């Protein structure tokens, strides 16, 4: 039974259709795995009874020979920042400890319509504000590869869940790398689509959005399966009106123009640099045309911080006033910092966001995709100060955001689709991720390319 939990979503879908495995068996196996790996603390809420009930209904449809939707009978989880109707959604905060939404997020509703079975809600730091897999509400989530290092954040539980067979797919969110960073730390795949491709209507500012729904899985094929089921326009989404019409596929590595961003203005740890460079060499050997490219990603850290802090101050600040004892110190500090910016500061950050978009677009006149390391170094210590400086190769490189993940947050600002895939491991056995980025609405092409790269470098 336990081996069933290690199947990919694509394998599960095929087995269900062939009637060799039932949705009930799969759901039972995944729920058992969740119990067996409870030491990792990947779930805030487990919906075992509801999942088994849904699995029995799904099994009945299979036996009756009904037409099955693409995710029929496949167990999945949802990061606890996304609303789930009738299921507690805490935002990782004591302030929302007993919050039960009445409606699903669009991505959740579409997953449900596609036949997926929700097994629970995964851990996240408070409101996803921090690059640390911890919260005053649920405690610490551990990396299944090495508990002494971070599993990444803020879709911490989602990455741990898919890495360990606690459901083959999970819906994370990505506000600065929050699906891609933990995916890289746990050796799985994390995808951030183009702005508007997967509606995220919980955001208060859809015009200036920098947070995305990010499907996560163990393979690119599974991510593509989920993306096909939940992507597409929604009348409530400012950027998603024509998104489905603008997808373009048919891409391959042969003749592909690849821009290799080796550093992005930051220092990349020696072993990480060697592993990712070797992966890029493999891409070149497959027929891609690889040339150096450069954007000083690290220099945009102040822009990202301004937008992040001001947004949290405006959205979350009023929620904690008079209830500060329920919030963590880092969240309170972030809100206070956000209140210190002026309207001119925010406007200048928005102007810089536009400049970054134009830098990307200039490179896409020369290249079909851009490739870089996902992180500048392997997973950091579980005890690292997420607000402090870090060292790489013995050199102080500055704050965690600018020094460790300068390759991820710029794509949240620019809106371009990006994906991380595993491309090797360090001598200590820690995973290293390769980051691929494409022009807006080239999501399907990016997934096709990523799948081909995955076959060669994983």
Range of the domain at 451: 257-302+340-457
380-396, pLDDT tens digit by residue? 999 999 999 999 999 99
Contact in structure between 185 and 150 (CB atoms under 8 Å)? yes
218-251, pLDDT tens digit by residue? 999 999 999 999 998 898 989 876 655 556 677 8
- What is the average pLDDT value for the chain, to the nearest integer? 96
Position 320 in a domain:
no
Out of 135, 154, 155, 158, the active site residue is 154
> Of 219, 246, 273, which residue is a domain's last?
246
- 184 sits in which H/E element: helix 180-186
Q: Which residues contact 351 (CB under 8 A, 6 or more apart)?
A: none
Position 432 in a domain:
yes
Q: What pLDDT is recorded for position 240?
A: 76
DSSP state of 39: G
Position 321 in a domain:
no
51-61, pLDDT tens digit by residue? 999 999 999 99
Instruction: Report the domain count for the chain.
Output: 2
Q: Is 9 exposed, middle or buried (0-12, 13-18, 19+ CB in 10 A)?
A: buried
Average pLDDT rounded to a whole number, residues 19-40? 98
Q: What pLDDT is recorded for position 1?
A: 41
Contact in structure between 93 and 57 (CB atoms under 8 Å)? no
Out of 111, 155, 156, 178, the active site residue is 178
Q: What pLDDT is recorded for position 246?
A: 53
Q: Tell me the C-alpha distance between 206 and 187, whole Å.
A: 31
**Residues 153, 100: one domain?**
yes
**Residues 68, 113: one domain?**
yes
Length of the chain: 458
Q: What pLDDT is recorded for position 247?
A: 60
DSSP string of 101-124, one letter each residue:
-SS--HHHHHHHHTT-EEEEEE--
- Strand pairing partners for 184? none
112-169, pLDDT tens digit by residue? 999 999 999 999 999 999 999 999 999 999 999 999 999 999 999 999 999 999 999 9
- Clarify whether 414 is annotated catalytic: no
pTM score? 0.97
Position 68 in a domain:
yes
Q: Is the pLDDT of residue 450 over 60?
A: yes
Residue 65 sits at the vertex; the CA angle it makes with 60 and 71, to the nearest 5 degrees, is 70
Average pLDDT rounded to a whole number, residues 195-211? 94
Q: What pLDDT is recorded for position 242?
A: 61
- Clarify whether 178 is annotated catalytic: yes
DSSP string of 293-340, one letter each residue:
----GGGGHHHHHHHHHHHHHHHTHHHHTT-GGGS-HHHHHHHHHHHT
Contact in structure between 328 and 374 (CB atoms under 8 Å)? no
Position 325 in a domain:
no
**Residues 232, 270: one domain?**
no
319-370, pLDDT tens digit by residue? 999 999 999 999 999 999 999 999 999 999 999 999 999 999 999 999 999 9
Q: What pLDDT is recorded for position 239?
A: 84
Q: What pLDDT is recorded for position 243?
A: 55
- Clarify whether 112 is annotated catalytic: no
Q: Is the pLDDT of residue 259 over 70?
A: yes
**Residues 232, 269: one domain?**
no
Q: What is the CATH number of the domain that holds 151?
A: 3.90.1300.10
DSSP three-state, residue 356? helix
Q: Minimal CA–CA distance to 258: which of 364, 376, 362?
A: 364
**Residues 164, 265: one domain?**
no
**Residues 358, 265: one domain?**
yes
**Residues 242, 297: one domain?**
no
Q: Minimal CA–CA distance to 151: which of 454, 431, 450?
A: 431
**Residues 263, 380: one domain?**
yes
Q: What pLDDT is recorded for position 338?
A: 98
**Residues 225, 354: one domain?**
no
**Residues 196, 62: one domain?**
yes
Q: How distant is the alpha carbon of residue 74 from its chain centre?
A: 19
């Amino acid at each position: 039974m336990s081996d069933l939990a290690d199947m990919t979503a694509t394998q599960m879908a095929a087995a269900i259709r062939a009637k060799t495995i039932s949705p009930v068996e799969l759901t039972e196996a995944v729920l058992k795995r969740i119990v067996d790996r409870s030491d990792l603390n990947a779930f805030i809420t487990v919906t075992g009874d509801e999942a088994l009930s849904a699995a029995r209904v799904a099994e009945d449809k299979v036996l009756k020979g009904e037409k099955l939707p693409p995710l029929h009978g496949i167990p999945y989880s949802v990061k606890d920042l996304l609303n789930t109707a009738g299921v507690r959604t805490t935002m990782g905060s004591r302030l929302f400890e007993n919050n039960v939404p009445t409606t699903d997020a669009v991505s959740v509703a579409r997953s449900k319509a596609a036949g997926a079975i929700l097994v629970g809600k995964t851990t996240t730091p408070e409101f996803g504000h921090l690059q640390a897999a911890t919260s005053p509400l649920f405690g610490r989530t551990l990396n299944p590869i090495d508990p002494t290092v971070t599993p990444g954040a803020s879709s911490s539980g989602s990455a741990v869940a898919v890495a360990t067979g606690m459901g083959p797919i999970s819906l994370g969110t990505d506000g600065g790398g929050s699906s891609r960073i933990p995916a890289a730390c746990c050796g799985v795949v994390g995808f951030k689509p183009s702005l508007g491709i997967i509606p995220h209507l919980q955001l208060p500012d859809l015009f200036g959005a920098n947070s995305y729904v990010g499907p996560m899985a163990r393979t690119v094929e599974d991510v593509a399966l989920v993306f096909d089921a939940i992507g597409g326009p929604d009348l409530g989404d400012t950027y998603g009106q024509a998104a489905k019409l603008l997808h373009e596929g048919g891409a391959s590595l042969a003749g592909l123009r690849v821009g290799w961003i080796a550093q992005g203005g930051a220092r990349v740890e020696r072993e990480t640099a060697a592993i990712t460079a070797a992966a890029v060499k493999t891409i070149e050997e497959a027929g891609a045309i690889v040339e150096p490219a450069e954007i000083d990603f690290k220099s945009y850290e102040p822009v990202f911080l301004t937008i992040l802090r001001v947004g949290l101050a405006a959205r979350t600040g009023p929620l904690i006033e008079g209830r500060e004892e329920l919030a963590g110190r880092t969240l309170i500090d972030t809100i206070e910092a956000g209140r210190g910016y002026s309207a001119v500061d925010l406007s200048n950050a928005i102007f810089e966001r536009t400049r970054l978009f134009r830098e990307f677009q200039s490179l896409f006149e020369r290249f079909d995709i851009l490739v870089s390391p996902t992180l500048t170094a392997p997973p950091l210590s579980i005890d690292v100060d997420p607000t402090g400086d870090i060292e790489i190769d013995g050199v102080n490189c500055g704050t965690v955001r600018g020094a460790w993940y300068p390759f991820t947050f710029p794509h949240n600002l620019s809106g371009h689709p990006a994906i991380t895939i595993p491309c090797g491991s360090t001598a200590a056995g820690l995973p290293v991720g390769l980051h691929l980025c494409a022009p807006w609405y080239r999501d399907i092409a990016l997934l096709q390319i990523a799948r081909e790269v995955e076959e060669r470098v994983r």
